[in-house]
Amino acid sequence: MGFVDYEVEGHVGIMTINRPKALNALNEDVLKDLGAAFDAVNLDEIRVVILTGAGEKSFVAGADIAAMSTMTKAEGEAFGKFGNDVFRKIEIFPVPVIAAVNGFALGGGNELAMSCDIRICSENAVFGQPEVGLGITPGFGGTQRLARLIGPGKAKEMVYGGRNIKADEAYRVGLVNAVYPQEELMAAAKKLASGIAKNAPIAVRNCKKAINDGLEADMDQAIVVEEKLFGDCFETEDQKEGMAAFLEKRKVERFINK
């Protein structure tokens, strides 16, 4: 895929947005390639996806402003829907997605990172929703996910003011899980992914679905979601192996994703 590179290391898929001369900015072609890359992931083998950007300056610096500058109202709304559809695909993707944010994550870049399950970043990372300075609102979920992740007060400060925050503040407000030196970021992402991938894949998928679906429901509905997904695990071979290993005081031989 032209703007998205994909490689596999064991049970981990590594996806890299590769448009470094434009700081990996998102246009329609990049979004198409990103959606197609996720559609092509072999879910029988892959248990975690790492998403990052090419180069050392930028994860994704935003949407392509030159491409947006001449859009009509209808075209702008359609572009927003197109980006939102791709990001929602990532958010509800069956396996966990880790964003390894290696620099600028502005506008659509921050929105893309927020559609992932877990965000870690390099020390030079910068996050923000600067759209109001361009006369527009965030259009790929920024007004929604940011408030849910860091609280409406801080989100409104960032969005209304178009104010960027650096890695240390992003960690302090809970936008990212951890901050690493640039040269250690991908190793840390792979270590995190490996720790997830070693666990029972169906159980991990069910945990993701339970958290995501539960956050969109009230508590009475949410615990029913959890109960069903908890029960579903008892139909799996991995549950039998995991509990047998515990009772027999041995290590799990392997989880087979069944």
So which residues are the catalytic ones? 111, 131
Exposure string (b/e) for 64-81, b if CB count within 10 Å is 16 or more? beeebeeeeeeeeeebbe
Q: Which residue has the tokens 């720790």?
A: 195
By CB atoms closer than 10 A (0-12, 13-18, 19+), residue 157 is middle
Distance CA 204, CA 65 (A): 38
Q: State the first-to-last Cα distance of the chain, in angstroms, to the nearest integer.
A: 30
DSSP state letters, 190-207: HHHHHHHHTS-HHHHHHH
> CA torsion sign, 192 to 170 to 77 to 60?
negative
Residue 118, C-beta contacts closer than 8 angstroms, at least 6 positions apart? 96, 97, 98, 99, 177, 192
**What does each C-alpha distance from 9 to 174, 193, 245 come to in angstroms?**
29, 10, 26
Long-range contacts of 230-235 (CB under 8 A, 24+ apart): 230/206, 232/202, 232/206, 233/200, 233/202, 233/203, 233/206
Distance CA 126, CA 155 (A): 15
